Structures are given as structure tokens and as C-alpha cells.
Amino acid sequence: MTWNEPPSREQLLRKAEAGMRAGLVVLEGICKKKLAISNMGGKAPSAPGEYPHLGTGTLRSHITTAYKGIKGNKVVGALGVAAGATRIMMIDQRNGKKTRVGDYALILEVGGSRMAARPYLRPTAHDHGKEFSVAFIRAALRTK
């Protein structure tokens, strides 16, 4: 006869962290894949409400995730643009104007005074909860 004790708090935290990290990796991959529709040369820009089309790949290369830890009874993680992106400049190929990657990312996500939103982070997280959950559960179950 085998007695399976309930997992300790430390084991549950390890499982939760492994699950969150795995789920975040899945969301990051989905988001980057959605940002892969090409607009090289500027002939096929995205329409309002669509995922932004790929121009230089700078935005896509700065999409990342972060495991934030346990906050109360919640496991917290984030999908977003790398923190260092606020210091990196990109040049608009059409007019030569310099823009910070972080500013560009925000304007695409929520829109600006001269451009409607082309959200990519929120739809990824909202529309792909099932894929996130599957990765979370699989990783949690594999973790001891």
C-alpha cells in the first residue's frame, strides 16, 4: 500500500512557478507568430484591430515574458515588451523618424492620437487561454 501525502506548500509553489513559466513561453511564441505577417516595403500595413504586420522585426524581437512570483494566492506572470525597449531607438523606414521601441509598442497596443489600436498582447492572452492552461498543467504535473 502506498500513502500519497498532500504536497507541501513549497512543492505547490514550485509546481505553480513551473506552470506559469511554461504557459508564458507558449503565449510568447503565439504572439510572435501572430506578428509574422510581412509588411516589408510598407505595401501591406495592418488595419485597425489587426495584429501589427511585420516591418523590421524590432517589435517582435522585444516581445518577452516574465515570471513575477506568488502574490497572495495568485501566481503572477507578464507578457509584454522587454523593459530595455524603452531605451532602444528604431527608425521608421518611410520617413526616417526615430521612435523608442517601447513607445511604438504602446501606441500599437492601445492606439494614439493619429493611429487606431492594433492590439497584439491583450488578444494573445485573451484568445489563447486554453493553450496557456494546457502548458501550465503539464509543467506543473511534471514538477516534483
Q: What is the pLDDT of residue 41?
A: 67
Burial call 44-80: b when 16+ CB within 10 Å, e when fewer: eebeeeebbbbbeebbbebbbbebeeeeeeebebebb
The structure's pTM equals 0.85
Partners of residue 63 on adjacent β-strands: 81
Cβ atoms of 134 and 22 within 8 Å: the answer is no
pLDDT in tens, 73-124: 889 999 999 887 777 877 766 677 788 888 889 999 999 998 899 999 999 9
pLDDT in tens, 2-32: 667 777 888 889 999 999 999 999 999 999 9
Q: How far is CA 14 from CA 9, 64, 66, 133, in A?
A: 9, 21, 16, 16
